[in-house]
Structure 1
Amino acid sequence: MASIVDEDNKKLYIFDEFFRKGMLNNELAQMIKDKGYSKEVIIADSAERKSIDEIKKLGVPRIKPAKKGHGSIMTGIQKVNQYEIIVHPNCTNIQDELDNYSYKKDKVTGEYLNSPIDSYNHGLDALRMSIQSVKRKARILTVKL
């Protein structure tokens, strides 16, 4: 997904997306170059360090690992929730995820828990990881490897 963060106005603009399963690193690097994002800062899942290194060697020099740590999921969700999210109409997959994202419920009380359901979240995971890596106004591309 490609987005622009306006930290001053607390707005997050999502203007491009690509959802494909099973892409090889060379295919992913080529897609990034074909879309014209090879010179942008790209945040990738830090669990895939070898993939990040390979994609970098394939002509995407500004790809870097996401910052993660204990509690990073909830911290990232809280940070994303601080922004007004504006989604381009062509970004139907991310809009679908935003519309369907939900939290687990306690089976006894029926109350929502502070734990998201692991569904409708691939693009949102990428968004969460990228927003945690941005300090000020920036254009970012996120990749879930």
Structure 2
Amino acid sequence: MKISTKGRYGLTIMMALGKNSGDGPMSLKAIAKEYDLSEHYLEQLIAPLRNAGLVKSIRGAYGGYVLAKSPKDITAADIIRVLEGPIRPVEVMDDDDPAKRELWIKIKDAVKDVLESTSLDDLIHFDEDHQVQDPYMFYI
């Protein structure tokens, strides 16, 4: 499963709003500037997030967007499903070999479990909990 820019930028929007939670609404312009993203593209992403009940819009001169729920009550899966659709790495075909079909199901379940067990709050506080020395160093 490849997460497109919709999912990645959607997570960025939600994390920015979560970090700003309690400080009032945040404009898409401010998020776009802070993360060097296209404001026009963010406008396209915020509508489905609002329609799904994950964010609320506040009108007025000091308006913008706020989370509709606590960051602890929003999962990465909630955001990805809204912007990317169902979580599945491949379309399972009836004519697939049973072993391959079982593999695809296991991969889908593993990805789904990670996304559903990761809250927006976890993502917001990840930097504080996991100080990465070298972002290109991986340990297996």
TM-score, scaled relative to structure 1: 0.28
Query: Larger % of strand: which?
Result: 1
Q: Report 1 or 2 for greater relative contact order, CA contacts < 8 Å, sequence distance ≥ 6.
A: 1
Q: Which has the higher Rg, Structure 1 or Structure 2?
A: 2
TM-score, scaled relative to structure 2: 0.29
